[in-house]
């Protein structure tokens, strides 16, 4: 016997972030009107959408915030992530749920984060300030382990950078090394006790972007992420800390996703005096509708 239930629904958008070309960026599910959902409901929905992240929009608890968002991967809740922050602001503005202002404040588990909106329409770019990055060496020397897992040697000592999640950052020198990597995902997953994932980058020559980036988080259910805001913000902080920012500039663009059939671009702004990093880009809505919610 199936009990008859009245379906509960929420407004829903699936947004492609860090692109203006549908299906070429990083997909994000944005769910509105989430007041009645439990944490377990949210995790179930995020597991079901099976996207790298799903966000749940709630009324802010702080009078200084314009909206509140909770961010989930298929397996866990994140304090902060870049592409969900940019994509959620896009969805809220597009649906006219918040007034369009050049400066907004997002409330998330990592705290209150400023958001900037520049331009309009498909040219609109949304920037979020990432939580302040902290850096540390890995608890053990992972250089040999990483070199074997990636099939390429780091040109600077691998560093763990935390700006919400912990990223193990690996400077591989050149774009060509990054593009041609064939990483061993099992070996990368084995490093997950020290970081959510491994992000690699290399410098581009004669391109309209400064860095090529790839991010691997197989232990979190995302073998290779299409375009990653938090990892790109972590790289900006890492370049500043290592005296390597001058070569790429304090405002630069990173390319990510081509190896898995995407073509995302992240605009990175590093404030050299404060160490704060802003990441942003364009977004486009691909799906707009209603989501049927799970029964308790």
**pLDDT average, residue stretch 21-30:** 97
Contacts 24+ apart (CB under 8 A), 273-276: 275/132, 275/133, 275/237, 275/240, 275/241, 276/129, 276/130, 276/132
Q: Tell me what pLDDT residue 166 has.
A: 93
- CA 164 to CA 40: how far, in whole Å? 21
Q: What percentage of the chain carries pLDDT values higher than 70?
A: 98
Q: Tell me what pLDDT residue 4 has.
A: 61
Q: 35, 53, 96, 276: which one is catalytic?
A: 53
With 90 as the cut, is the pLDDT of residue 43 above it? yes
The predicted-structure confidence for 189-211, as pLDDT tens digits, reads as follows 999 889 999 999 999 999 999 99
Domains and CATH numbers, the chain: 9-129+282-292 (3.10.310.10), 134-275 (3.10.310.10)
pLDDT band at 5; cut points 50, 70, 90: low
The predicted-structure confidence for 89-130, as pLDDT tens digits, reads as follows 999 999 999 988 999 999 999 999 999 999 988 889 999 999
The predicted-structure confidence for 45-84, as pLDDT tens digits, reads as follows 999 999 989 999 999 999 999 999 999 998 899 999 999 9
Q: Is 259 a catalytic residue?
A: no
The predicted-structure confidence for 214-263, as pLDDT tens digits, reads as follows 999 998 878 999 999 999 999 999 999 999 999 999 999 999 999 999 99
């Amino acid at each position: 016997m199936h009990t008859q239930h009245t379906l509960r629904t929420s407004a829903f958008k699936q947004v492609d972030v860090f692109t203006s070309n549908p299906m070429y960026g990083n997909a994000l599910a944005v769910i509105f009107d989430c007041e009645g959902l439990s944490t377990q409901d949210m995790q179930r929905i995020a597991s079901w959408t099976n996207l790298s992240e799903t966000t749940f929009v709630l009324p802010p608890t702080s009078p200084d915030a314009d909206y509140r968002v909770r961010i989930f991967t298929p397996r866990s809740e994140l304090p902060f992530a870049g592409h969900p922050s940019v994509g959620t602001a896009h969805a809220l503005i597009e649906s006219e749920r918040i007034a369009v202002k050049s400066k907004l404040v997002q409330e998330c588990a990592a705290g209150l984060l400023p958001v900037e909106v520049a331009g309009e329409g498909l040219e609109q770019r949304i920037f979020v300030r990432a939580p302040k990055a902290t850096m540390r060496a890995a608890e053990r020397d992972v250089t040999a382990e990483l070199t074997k897992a990636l099939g390429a040697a780091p040109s600077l000592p691998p560093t763990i950078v935390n700006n919400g999640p912990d990223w193990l950052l690996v400077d591989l020198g050149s774009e060509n090394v990054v593009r041609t990597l064939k990483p061993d995902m099992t070996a990368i997953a084995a490093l997950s006790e020290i970081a959510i994932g491994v992000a690699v980058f290399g410098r581009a020559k004669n391109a309209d972007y400064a860095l090529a980036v790839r991010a691997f988080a197989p232990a979190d259910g995302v073998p290779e992420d299409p375009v990653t805001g938090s990892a790109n913000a972590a790289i900006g902080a890492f370049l500043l800390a290592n005296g390597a920012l001058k070569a790429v500039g304090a405002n630069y663009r990173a390319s990510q996703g081509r190896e898995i059939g995407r073509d995302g671009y992240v605009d990175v702004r590093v404030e050299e005096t404060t160490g704060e990093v802003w990441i942003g880009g364009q977004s486009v809505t691909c799906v707009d509708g209603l989501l049927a919610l799970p029964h308790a």
